[in-house]
Amino acid sequence: MIQQLIDQHLSAITAQIRAKYPSEMESYAKRLINLGMDADQVEEDMQAVLRTLVMRNESVSDEEFFYILNLFPDYEQFGKQTIEFKITLEGTKSWRKVRLPAILSLTELAYAAIAAFHGMGGHLFTLKLNDKQYSPFEFELGDYENSSQVLLGHLGLKEKSKIEIDYDLGAGWGFNCVVTKLDCEDEPLLEPELISGKGYNLWEDNREYLEFLIEDPKIKVQDWEGRFRQVGKIAKEEGITQFDAEDCDEFPLEMEVLREIYNPANKD
């Protein structure tokens, strides 16, 4: 999936660059071939340059473009960058640590937070970083940048950078995502990873009951049939659990399920 994202960005920028500099790129390729490089190697180097522009995610001047063109930088590094977040469920002591490829978007960070706490998805969510707001959804009020078009690796994140996520705007759930580590792997991280965690998962559409559960599982609340029972017993019946090591194995699948829920057009 990560490689597909890289290739998608590469394809988009390739078309733009080739359209903008057709004669220059052709003459550059001919010059390299005349120096003894075969056509396949020239094309590979050109792709390296274009990947670098994808990584930069910004426009460049003609002069800077040809400077980059002659550097042949290590374009693979962007695909190998990873960012580790400690995600805390607001109002609780529950937390999860996840490691994500930097090529993923802010929207994918929201999916990761929801999946890490076994959220069902389907609710609206927004993200906030340094007083700037993001969301993949359109709102009549507020100024939101499309979170699906912003890559984590382009945000200039550092250790202790904090991204806030509001999820299920009616219920008022929130996630605080703090960067704990930035790294560059030997090989690209092919899927997001759930590393560790502690505490209860989300109780969708029932925030008050989760708060009672955390306070004391023996607190009695009214169940769906109007009976007063211990909230811990209701939680057990509803499948509300605490973090378990097995959750790490299920995490990539839960991420994929959320992608299908929020983007049904992407289903096969």
More confident residue, 15 or 233: 233
Q: How confident is the model at residue 131 (pLDDT cuts 50, 70, 90)?
A: confident
Can you point out the beta strands (E) in the chain?
81-89, 95-101, 125-129, 132-135, 144-146, 162-167, 173-184, 193-198, 220-222, 228-230
3-class SS letters over 114-180: HHHCCCCCCCCEEEEECCEEEECCCCCCCCEEEHHHCEHHHCCCCCCCEEEEEECCCCCEEEEEEEE
212 pLDDT above the threshold of 50? yes
57 pLDDT above the threshold of 70? no
46 pLDDT above the threshold of 80? no
Q: How confident is the model at residue 160 (pLDDT cuts 50, 70, 90)?
A: very high
Listed ranges 16-30, 85-99, 135-149; the one with the highest mean pLDDT = 85-99
pTM more than 0.85: no
Beta-strand pair 144-146/132-135: parallel
* Alpha-carbon gap, residue 105 to 147, rounded angstroms: 7
pLDDT of residue 74: 40
pLDDT of residue 31: 67
* Alpha-carbon gap, residue 262 to 40, rounded angstroms: 40
pLDDT of residue 221: 78
Q: Between the CA atoms of 179, 180, 184 and 186, what dihedral angle is there, to the nearest 10 degrees?
A: -130
The pLDDT of 227-254, averaged and rounded, is 84
Helix (H/G/I), strand (E/B), else coil: 80: helix
